[in-house]
Structure 1
Amino acid sequence: MFNILLIEDDAALFGEIRQRLAQWSYQVHGITDFGRVLEEFAALKPELVIIDIQLPQYDGFHWCRTIRAHSKVPILMLSSRDHPSDMVMSMTLGADDYVQKPFHFEVLVAKIQAILRRVYNYTSDRPELRTWRGATVEPVKNTVSSPQGTVLLTKNEMFLLNILVEHKGQIVTREAMIQALWDNEDFVSDNTLTVNVNRLRKKLEPLGLDACIETRVGQGYIATEEGTL
């Protein structure tokens, strides 16, 4: 379970976000004193910080700058103002992403998932090796190895394969795959997902694994397990 610090003074919005994120097994914590945000951040040690730009005492830009000076924790900014300068300022101060209010909750979840997956799944000193149908999937090297040889995948292809193999034997919906890859501009539509899955299959063909990623029409994709073909 990831701990998220939500720096938001709108009690109703805070409660809604906390309730909705709890459905995704995220633990959301708030601020009790908006003049002591840094102290509360240090005490909690969250894996992600979400900061509203409009806050009492000091604005979100101040706290983004202050937290970034002390930590590399990922930061997601929220703003109710339709000012491109807010996004520019957020990124300049070290924020990892930006969401404008009002937002669809699915977009917020997708952004959170993408940040957490990128920061904590792919920067680990010991990324998890996965085995699949006699092959070894190694994210840190972007390789898949089997007795037939080794193929090198692009980062995006490995991202897709890792999601499928993590849930091997289960259908991964197209929506879930697109959400997980939301922060990558190559994956912004249903059509581009299809194209990239086909490219992944082509890469896996020399290992005899291309047919092991099946399309389930109207649902998504599945990395089949041994004996299911």
Structure 2
Amino acid sequence: MSSTIMIVEDDIKMAELLASHIKRYGYESIVIEEFDNILDDFNKTKPDLVLLDVNLPSFNGYYWCRQIRTVSTCPIIFISARNGEMDQVMALENGADDYITKPFYYEVVMSKIRSQLRRVYGEYAPKLNERVVERSGLTLFPERMELSFGEKVVNLTKKETVLLEMLLTKSPLLVKREALFEQLWDTHAYVDENTLSVYIGRVRKKIQSLGINDGIETIRGAGYRLIITWKKDID
């Protein structure tokens, strides 16, 4: 199965040329044409690598790089006319794996794409045993940031993954709010109390989308616990 490359470049001619070279090397390409919901496009298509410009309509590439990093560790290569040191530093600090300045040779771009794909998915990829946390059929894959129940799967953000791993590991025992704060933010001294409630609400909805009702129980003044009950199919 060939790898899929998502191209986020508002110069349509350049994007088409990149797509043509990518196809020539046996990869699939997805060219983004609307730039308001790039993260939604990423989640729908699940590419293996992203080519990302810095200067984009609405939000710049640094912003979208950070958004992608909340759900994926796939390789991200910036391609930009900005050639200053700080531009490259900004890209790497925001989660990029490489940075190519325009104008560029297409063969160099392809070489860097192949290198990143080998590093993450191929012969150079680290051979790690994937962790799995499971309770009563609800299964969390922390490295993938995915939660599954039966045949249904939902994607999680990094903090949602951490929160669910704690609840699943302790289930059906209580997890104190203080412990969740410490794990999610190191300290809760500078985090609003309601922030945790917001994350709990998001995780509740994702669990419910899998068919599990009332999955997270609130113990007032103490914390939360995960209790798994699910809907029965009606013939």
Contact 2:65/2:76 (<8 A) preserved: yes
Aligned residues: 126
Contact 2:4/2:29 (<8 A) preserved: yes
CA distance in 2, matches of 1:124, 1:41: 26
What is the aligned partner in structure 1 of residue 42 from structure 2? 41
User: Does residue 32 in structure 1 map to residue 33 in structure 2?
Assistant: yes
What is the aligned partner in structure 1 of residue 57 from structure 2? 56
CA distance in 2, matches of 1:45, 1:66: 14
> Which secondary structure state, in structure 1, belongs to the residue aligned with residue 29 of structure 2?
strand
Gaps of 5+ in 2: 130-235
Aligned residue runs from structure 1 range 1-229, under 5 A:
1-121=2-122, 122-125=125-128
Question: How far is 1:123 from its partner?
Answer: 2.8
CA distance in 2, matches of 1:102, 1:124: 36
Contact 1:87/1:98 (<8 A) preserved: yes
Contact 1:7/1:52 (<8 A) preserved: yes
> Which secondary structure state, in structure 1, belongs to the residue aligned with residue 108 of structure 2?
helix
Name segments (4+ residues, structure 1) moved above 2 Å.
123-126
* One-letter code aligned to 2:60: D
> Which secondary structure state, in structure 1, belongs to the residue aligned with residue 51 of structure 2?
strand
CA distance in 1, matches of 2:61, 2:82: 13
* One-letter code aligned to 1:123: P
Q: Deviations over 1:172-220 (max 9, x none)?
A: xxxxxxxxxxxxxxxxxxxxxxxxxxxxxxxxxxxxxxxxxxxxxxxxx
* One-letter code aligned to 1:23: R
Q: Deviations over 1:87-108 (max 9, x none)?
A: 1001101101110010011111
CA distance in 2, matches of 1:83, 1:95: 16
> Which secondary structure state, in structure 1, belongs to the residue aligned with residue 96 of structure 2?
coil
TM-score for the superposition, normalised by structure 2: 0.52
CA distance in 1, matches of 2:119, 2:17: 25
CA distance in 1, matches of 2:9, 2:127: 30
CA distance in 2, matches of 1:88, 1:120: 25
Question: How far is 1:124 from its partner?
Answer: 4.6
Contact 2:91/2:99 (<8 A) preserved: yes
Contact 1:79/1:86 (<8 A) preserved: no
- CA RMSD of superposed structures (Å): 1.3
CA distance in 2, matches of 1:33, 1:17: 17
TM-score for the superposition, normalised by structure 1: 0.53
CA distance in 1, matches of 2:82, 2:95: 19
CA distance in 2, matches of 1:77, 1:94: 10
Contact 1:53/1:79 (<8 A) preserved: yes
CA distance in 2, matches of 1:120, 1:28: 17
